[in-house]
Amino acid sequence: MTNNNPIGVFDSGIGGTSIWSAIHTLLPNEKTIYLADSKNAPYGQKSKEEIVALSKKNVEFLLENNCKLIVVACNTATTNAIFELRRDYNIPFIGIEPAIKPAANNSKTQVIGILATKGTLNSELFNKTAEMFQHTTIIEQVGYGLVQLIEDGNLYSPEMTQLLESYLQPMIDANIDYLVLGCSHYPYLIPQIKKILPEHIQIIDSGEAVARQTQNVLREKAGFNESPDNDPVFYVNSDSTVLKSILENKYPVIEKDF
Ligand code: DGL
């Protein structure tokens, strides 16, 4: 099936580029439009109603740009708004949720840690999924402050190290063998996290799984791009400096209010 329209990807900010990157690697021929709603980041502390309204605003911008499929590259937006998006728009949506399943199924200690936003950990969708793994102890930790530091470009600051140590040490003490990164911003913290965690603790994020799911939905419903036009487009509604640097200045970024 052919469909030369772009894939839309959005996040509360720059973190969803970790998901975008997995999609772009698996599907390099697809044209993508990435939306960083940095003006409104972080979403993690907002109410469900606010997250639904912001997600709809982002979807409408992507639909005006003829997207054939939308990836909600944000755990907070997925766990709070994907039901409303699927109900209100006639287009396939792919969401991301913390990867509890592979962690719980492979854990030897049957203790796993999840670092995510408050909005994700408090959501009904997350709690329903977590309930399915009664045999596993899930240590939940809100990553207060992490998204803001990433949005401000302070990935390697002493403050970041201090926050990460305070969130991860109790998990290490509780004998976790898997750490699930339940926020699309957090893969950018993997080098810093690895310095804190003992080597035997595995880190899991959802990027590759979302990319494979995107490929399946293109195959089954939305169609693949067959045109040579596949340059990615990035939009951000605040200063573009940090987004550009996280993309290693490889792609143009458009600053635009949306
Ligand atoms: N990157 C987002 C997530 O995956 C949201 C972070 C935030 O805006 O709080 O949850």
Which residues does the chain have with pLDDT short of 70?
none
Structural domain contains residue 2: no
Domain boundary among 163, 181, 204: 204
**199 and 126 within one domain:** yes
Summarised one tens digit per residue, pLDDT across range 103-123 is 999 999 999 999 999 999 999
Summarised one tens digit per residue, pLDDT across range 191-243 is 999 999 999 999 999 999 999 999 999 999 999 999 998 999 999 999 999 99
Q: How far is the CA of 114 from the centre of ligand 1 (A)?
A: 14
Ligand 1 closest atom vs CA 43: 8
Partners of residue 203 on adjacent β-strands: 179
Instruction: Write phi, then psi, for 231 (nearest 5 degrees).
Output: -75, 130
| Ligand 1 site-directed mutation target among 147, 149, 246, most atoms within 8 Å of CB | 147
Could you tell me the residue range of the domain that residue 133 belongs to?
A: 100-204
Structural domain contains residue 27: yes
**216 and 88 within one domain:** yes
Closest alpha carbon to 195 in 222, 162, 225: 162
**137 and 15 within one domain:** no
Q: What is the pLDDT at residue 42?
A: 95
Q: How many domains does the chain have?
A: 2
Q: Is 183 marked active-site?
A: yes
Q: How far is the CA of 182 from the centre of ligand 1 (A)?
A: 9
Q: How far is the CA of 226 from the centre of ligand 1 (A)?
A: 32
| Ligand 1 site-directed mutation target among 39, 43, 210, most atoms within 8 Å of CB | 43
Structural domain contains residue 30: yes
Q: Is 74 marked active-site?
A: yes
Q: How far is the CA of 22 from the centre of ligand 1 (A)?
A: 17
Specify the CATH number for the domain of residue 114.
3.40.50.1860
**199 and 221 within one domain:** no
Burial 125-145 (b: 16+ CB within 10 A, else e): bbeebbeebeebbbbbbbbee
Question: Which is the catalytic residue, given 36, 73, 74, 94?
Answer: 74
The Cα angle at residue 101 between residues 97 and 102, in degrees rounded to 5: 110
Task: Kindly give the residue spans of alpha helices, DSSP state H, lying in 113-189.
Answer: 118-121, 124-131, 146-151, 158-173
Closest alpha carbon to 140 in 166, 171, 110: 171
